[in-house]
Amino acid sequence: MNIIKIKDRNELDKKIPTMPWYVEKFINYKLPDLSPSSLLEYIRDYEIFFSWLLAEGLSSAASMSQVPLVDLEKLHMESVDNFRMFLATRREHANVKTTINRKLSALRSLFHYLSQIAEDEDFYPLLKRNVMAKIEIKRSHKPKDTAAKLEGKLLQEQEIIEFIDYVQHGYEHDVATNKQAIYSYELNKIRDGCIITLILNSGLRVSEVFNLNVDDIDLKKKLTYVYRKGKNDDTFKTPVYFRQDAIQALTDYMEIRHTRYKPVKKEKALFLAIANGKQEGERMTKRAIQEMVNKYAKRFGKPYLSVHKLRHSFATDYYLQNDLYKTQEQLGHASPETTQIYAHLTDKTMSEAIDKRMES
């Protein structure tokens, strides 16, 4: 099991006892089909719901874990509408429409399980009345809408090369008078250039980059093995190919990985960082990878760039040279509908994309 899933599974195990017994029953039912990370998101959504339920006096239970099923059966449509309004007015920046819909979808899944699948000892549904069945959750975004938001915020063809070159060479001229920045750059420029080059030549997610181990990389076959989002078989890694342009960057980094970051022998992580006050390199965190990309992006003049937008930049460029289904497979999308945003992100025709592919 990869590092993120181990951490999320431990967190999930800690939170389950704080939930009502029927939520634990639902989580156990879903465990074979969903990853610990997905189930942890469910639990976090349920924490918000049950806390709201208690705060509004819709349950007289002493704690979340003691909320009885009958309190769910007595919920009116008005209560669900009030919960939706509560979510919309919360201060958390993340509570945009898509996030609210996800929380309501999590509740619908729980209520559906309790009313349609789970049974009591007399073979009757655990939940006799399902108010959430009346709630319509509209898809809040379409590929075309996502593409419109991304337009002008990605690296285009030649810019991909220019950004990689800036990270590898140009950045030091912009921070020449900052001794601390120069020291950090000299230490990490090969690693940073390698990470950014790899993402822009493979479309890997930040979680996939974070989880990479040294033995996941096969330079001869031009591929790396990663745990793909949504796949629950933790004994099997998915091969993901990278372009020829990434080979030199990976080779250069692997040559200095041990001498520059001095990891302990048992450290398998590919990308390392030395934390303040420590002598040995450890696995670079997801946050550190994201902040690293943001640092270079701001100096490059594109402060809106992020790891995910680098992935989008690769995907748009890749789509021009391949078809929808190859792009879907390369990115690890569960549905071709998700991949369709790249069709909207370019004005090129499919015939041009096919010609370009045949020339390469």
Instruction: Give me the active site residues, please.
Output: 205, 229, 308, 311, 333, 342
HSE-CB of 63 using CA atoms within 13 angstroms: 6
- Judge residue 61's burial from the number of C-beta atoms within 10 Å of its C-beta, 0-12 exposed, 13-18 middle, 19 or more buried: middle
Instruction: Calculate Rg over the CA atoms of the chain.
Output: 24
**Structure-token pair, residue 202:** 């493979």
Beta-carbon contacts of residue 184 (< 8 Å; ≥ 6 apart): none
Beta-carbon contacts of residue 280 (< 8 Å; ≥ 6 apart): 261, 262, 263, 264, 267, 274
In terms of DSSP bridges, do strands 282-283 and 272-273 run parallel, antiparallel, or are they unpaired?
antiparallel
Rounded-to-integer distance, Cα 125 and Cα 116, Å: 6
Alpha helices by DSSP H, listed for 67-156, are 69-73, 77-89, 97-112, 143-150
Task: Give φ, ψ of 241 to 5 degrees.
Answer: -85, 150
Rounded-to-integer distance, Cα 200 and Cα 153, Å: 15
Rounded-to-integer distance, Cα 212 and Cα 269, Å: 6
CA distances from 220 to 30, 116, 223, 242 (A): 39, 52, 8, 11
